[in-house]
Homo-oligomer: A and B are copies of this chain.
Amino acid sequence: MKDYIKNSKMFKALSDATRLQIVEMLAGGELCACKILAHFNITQPTLSYHMKILIGSGLVYGRREGAWMQYSLNKEALAEASALLRKISLSKKVPDTGTCGCREARA
């Protein structure tokens, strides 16, 4: 899978305000689904849906502990996403060809 597809999937997981808050909550350590649910005005199936997306993106791990689900961050994945954005933010300008070239390219 092309990087920009994998990465866009990660950013998609972070593109929902609820999911972003969940990721921030998990920064403090592993949490049970019920604790996460208590912080939002959403139903249990909706949380389950969001967690599935977060896990599918690779940003979050889930493990069953008896009757409960425990969720935690994949910090490596977050660090990679951070590094990608940082690399772009630090990128150097490549000398360009002067003008735009739209007109010329068509002539």
Which of B11, B78, B102 makes the CB contact (< 8 A) with A89? B78
Q: Which residues of B contact A70 (CB under 8 A)?
A: 100
Task: For the complex formed, measure the closest distance between the CB of A48 and the CB atoms of chain B, giving whole angstroms.
Answer: 15
Q: Does chain B have a CB within 8 A of A45?
A: no
Instruction: Name A's interface SS.
Output: helix
A1-38 to B contact mask, C-beta < 8 Å, 1/0: 01011011101101111011101100111101011001
Residues of chain B with a CB closer than 8 A to A38's CB: 105
CA distance A54 to B27 in the complex (A): 28
With both chains docked as a complex, state the minimum distance between the C-beta of A94 and any C-beta of chain B, in angstroms: 4
> What bracket does the count of chain A residues touching chain B fall in?
35 or more
What residues of B have a CB within 8 angstroms of the CB of A24 in the complex?
Answer: 4, 88
For A16, what are the chain B residues with a Cβ–Cβ distance below 8 Å?
8
A residues in contact (CB < 8 Å) with B: 2, 4-5, 7-9, 11-12, 14-17, 19-21, 23-24, 27-30, 32, 34-35, 38, 65, 68, 70, 73, 75-76, 78-79, 81-91, 93-94, 96, 100-102, 105
